[in-house]
Amino acid sequence: ALATPAVAAETTVDVIAHRGSSGAAPENTLTAVRLAIAHRTDVVENDIQRTRDGELVIVHDTTLTRTTDVEQVFPERAPWNVRDFTLAEIKQLDAGSWFAPEFAGERVPTLAEWVNAVGRRAGMLLEPKSPELYPGIETDLDKELRSLPAFNRALMAGRVVVQSFDHVWLRAYKDLAPDVPVGLLYSNKPTEAAIAAAATWAQQVNPSLGAIDQATVEQVHAHDMEIHVWTVNTGTAMYRAIDWQVDGIITDYPQVLRDILRRG
Ligand code: G3P
Ligand code: CA
């Protein structure tokens, strides 16, 4: 039989629940958040967009079709973009049945509901999606977050990061909120020059695990930043990321990663 790879006793890697415990519950719902906390995740990740009436909500795709019953409830409203619906309309949607029948009635959370559900129980990794579709969302995000005591507590405790694939947008947000740590998302392997440039203003470089090698991890650490990799769903890939000494692993299965880390 194959031996289980050993995990060094001194390993400190954050378990980060991708869209909540999205392997076991519908992504980006409060049930997925609560389950992630029950699975002893260190940090919960989410995706943020803005409704027609300016409210911030937790949903990954720019349309509502994959993760809600919007096509049944509002058949005339193709292409069902998040930005074309009010919060009251979005709150009518079932965000759970698509995943499994027992989650029927699950709702799309607001950012405030999501922050309050995480509270002191875990850190917060916040990802505004496609900010180019939402002019001024950096201002809305900053205003909303700072109105929430649970966010301010998490910020003081060093348990908040805002990340984005849109590095120009992220820089604008960082200029507005210099005290909030930020992370640059990469689908491809970041070059050494990109990592060096990021180090002048960002705190994390967060690439796809499949795009990088151990040298990338070393380069990010050489620039005193953290590296959090996504989306790591197999035991083999988890062991690889742990072996490379990444700082955090973003996974749909935080319970699997927690078990690996505990077993050693
Ligand atoms: O946290 C990283 C990961 O969430 C980025 O990809 O598409 O799942 O938001 P995506
Ligand atoms: Ca995300």
pLDDT, tens digit, 9 for 90 and up, residues 21-51: 999 999 999 999 999 999 999 999 999 999 9
Whether 76 is in a domain gets the answer yes
The strand pairing partners of 102, in sequence order, are none
- In tens, the pLDDT along 105-141 reads 999 999 999 999 999 999 999 999 999 999 999 999 9
The single-letter DSSP state of residue 209 is G
How far does residue 250's CA lie from ligand 1's centre (Å)? 9
Coil vs helix vs strand at 203: coil
**Domain contains 1:** no
Residue 7 resides in a domain:
no
The neighbour count for residue 232, using CB atoms within 10 Å, is 27
Q: CB–CB of 249/232 below 8 Å?
A: yes
The residue segments making up the domain with residue 33 are 14-263
Substitution candidate for ligand 1 out of 47, 130, 162 with most atoms within 8 A of CB? 47
Closest atom of ligand 1 to 206 CA is: 2
Q: Is position 8 within any domain?
A: no
The protein residue whose alpha carbon is closest to atom 7 in ligand 1 is 60
CATH of the domain at 75: 3.20.20.190
Across the range 210-233, mean pLDDT stands at 98
pLDDT at position 11 over 90: no
- What is the rounded average pLDDT of the residues 213-218? 98
What number does the ligand 1 atom closest to the CA of 60 have?
A: 9
- Which candidate, 230, 9, 216, places its Cα nearest to that of 127? 230
Residue 86 in this model has a pLDDT that exceeds 60: yes
Report, as an integer, the average pLDDT of 136-156: 98
Greatest Cα-to-Cα distance within the chain, rounded to the nearest angstrom: 58
- Angle among Cα 264, 186, 136 to the nearest 5 degrees reads 120
**pTM (2 d.p.):** 0.96
Note whether residue 2 is domain-resident: no
Tokens at 237, concatenated: 């890939």
User: What type of residue is 135?
Assistant: P
Alpha carbons within 13 A on the beta-carbon side of 204: 25
Q: From the CB of 107, is ligand 1 less than 6 Å away?
A: no
* Residues paired with residue 248 on neighbouring β-strands, in sequence order: 14, 228
Running DSSP on this structure, what letter comes out for residue 132?
A: G
Question: Is 5 domain-assigned?
Answer: no
pLDDT surpasses 70 at 5? no
Total Cβ atoms within 10 A of residue 162: 24
Count of structural domains within the chain: 1
Question: In testing the pocket of ligand 1, which one of 230, 233, 249, 251 has its CB within 8 Å of the most ligand atoms?
Answer: 230
pLDDT at residue number 264: 72
Residue 120, domain member (yes or no): yes
The arithmetic mean of pLDDT across residues 146-167, rounded, is 98
The answer as to whether 25 is a domain residue is yes
Q: Tell me how far apart the alpha carbons of residues 33 and 110 are, in angstroms, rounded to a whole number.
A: 13
How far, in Å, CA of 96 to CA of 101, rounded?
7
